[in-house]
Amino acid sequence: EAGVTQFPSHSVIEKGQTVTLRCDPISGHDNLYWYRRVMGKEIKFLLHFVKESKQDESGMPNNRFLAERTGGTYSTLKVQPAELEDSGVYFCASSRRNYGYTFGSGTRLTVV
């Protein structure tokens, strides 16, 4: 089966601009997660979708971040407006059952 696909793989934007990250989960995986690793720090949970519903968004840092999952398929994570501290690697993961995570390769976001 195809893996979890994230794009773009890299994005460099200026402070104040908007960026949208996309994640295509493995087909049939109802659970979709977003995580983020800021440089030098731990990978941290952002949010969890079950199908199209947000199950847990306790890790979202602030209201500049908006996540959606259209029709329970792919998901987008929009940052608007981007700030310097948003730089990092954003990982998406999906699972059919809990703990059967498959991670994508990540999107490296650099805000300058």
Partner 1 sequence: AQSVTQLDSQVPVFEEAPVELRCNYSSSVSVYLFWYVQYPNQGLQLLLKYLSGSTLVKGINGFEAEFNKSQTSFHLRKPSVHISDTAEYFCAVSDEGSNYKLTFGKGTLLTVNP
Q: Which residues bind partner 1 (CB under 8 A)?
A: 3-4, 31, 33, 35, 40-45, 48, 55-56, 59, 91, 93, 98-99, 101, 103-106
* DSSP per-residue string spanning the chain: ----EEE-SEEEE-TT--EEEEEE--TT--EEEEEEE-TTS-EEEEEEEETTEEEE-TT--STTEEEEEGGGS-EEEEESS--GGG-EEEEEEEESSTT--EE---EEEEE-
Please, which residue, 17 or 110, has the CB nearer to partner 1?
110
Beta carbon of residue 1, minimum distance to partner 1 (angstroms, whole number): 15
Question: Which one, 74 or 103, has the nearer CB to partner 1?
Answer: 103
CB of 98 to partner 1, least distance (A): 4
Q: Which residues pair with 7 in a beta bridge?
A: 22
Q: Taking the complex as a whole, how short is the minimal distance between the CB of residue 39 and partner 1, in angstroms?
A: 11
Among residues 3 and 16, whose Cβ is nearest to partner 1?
Answer: 3
